[in-house]
């Protein structure tokens, strides 16, 4: 587990996120379900990814780099853990994520982001690979490039179905399945998987406000822009 934690520290350091100490607590919680010696490790950067967490739709865009560990836990069964760090930036004029009325609006705020997410996949044809991930992200509408040696999605999009235009944004469930050679089956476009624990931490440094969106609940401490807008 310490290896996984060190990866998050390294990724966070690249974004200058030393102030986001609580990201390590989240990483410990998710890493408890992961192997200390994963079979595969990948790095993926996603830029300008629309953020639709909360109740108000897209309220921000994220730039984040994810360390992805994949562990084979049974026949065609894998556990995929994401540890991410980056930055969020608000969409000016869009409602705050925790505003249920739609009457507030974000301004030009931004800040550090930390992400922990986990999935269990079954029926997956291994091994996972960068080649699979790049191929399927490209196929579904994203634009892929290597930037500073890291596979980077510079235009994240996913087709809702082959005959429809792509929807903006790439979800981590898509990424988890796209690592394998058969993401279209056997159970559908995002085949058999279950999501485990997850946590997204958004920090607004001027007031030390932290918005937490997680499998254990949602909170805003202290209450501020994520509830009342900018």
Q: What is the pLDDT of residue 1?
A: 44
Structure confidence by residue, pLDDT tens digits, 2-15: 455 555 555 545 44
What integer pLDDT is reported at residue 99 of this predicted model?
86
Tokens of 230: 């900018």
Calpha distance 44→179 (Å, rounded): 11
Neighbours of 56 (CB within 10 A): 18
**Is there a contact between 180 and 121 (Cβ–Cβ < 8 Å)?**
yes
Choose among 67, 155, 169, 150: nearest CA to 114. 67
Neighbour count for residue 211 (Cβ, 10 Å):
27
Other Cβ atoms less than 10 A from the Cβ of 8: the count is: 25
Rg, Å, the chain Cα set: 17
Tens digit of pLDDT for each residue in 165-174?
667 889 999 8
| Residues of the chain predicted below pLDDT 50 | 1-2, 12, 14-24, 26-30, 33-35, 186-188
Which of 86, 79, 5 has the alpha carbon at shortest distance from 44? 86
Q: Where are the domains of the chain?
A: 2-228
| pLDDT score for 53 | 55
* Residue 170 token pair: 């790439």
């Amino acid at each position: 587990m310490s290896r996984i934690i060190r990866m998050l520290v390294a990724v966070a350091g690249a974004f200058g996120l030393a102030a986001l100490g609580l990201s390590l607590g989240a990483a410990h919680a998710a890493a408890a379900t992961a192997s200390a010696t994963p079979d595969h490790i990948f790095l993926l950067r996603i830029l300008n990814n629309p953020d639709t967490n909360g109740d108000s739709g897209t309220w921000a865009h994220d730039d984040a780099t994810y360390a992805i560990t994949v562990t084979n836990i049974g026949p065609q069964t894998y556990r995929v853990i994401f540890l991410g760090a980056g930055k969020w930036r608000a969409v000016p004029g869009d409602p705050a994520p925790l505003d249920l009325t739609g009457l507030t609006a974000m301004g030009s705020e931004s800040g550090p982001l930390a992400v922990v997410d986990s999935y269990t996949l079954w029926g997956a044809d291994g091994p996972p690979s960068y080649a699979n991930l790049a191929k399927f992200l490209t196929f579904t509408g994203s634009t892929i490039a290597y930037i500073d040696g890291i596979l980077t999605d510079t235009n994240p999009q996913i087709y809702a179905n082959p005959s429809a235009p792509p929807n903006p944004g790439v979800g981590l469930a898509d990424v988890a399945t796209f690592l394998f050679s058969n993401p279209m089956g056997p159970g559908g476009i995002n085949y058999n998987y279950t999501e485990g624990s997850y946590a997204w931490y958004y920090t607004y440094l001027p007031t030390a406000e932290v918005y937490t969106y997680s499998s254990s609940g949602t909170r805003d401490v202290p209450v501020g822009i994520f509830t009342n807008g900018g």
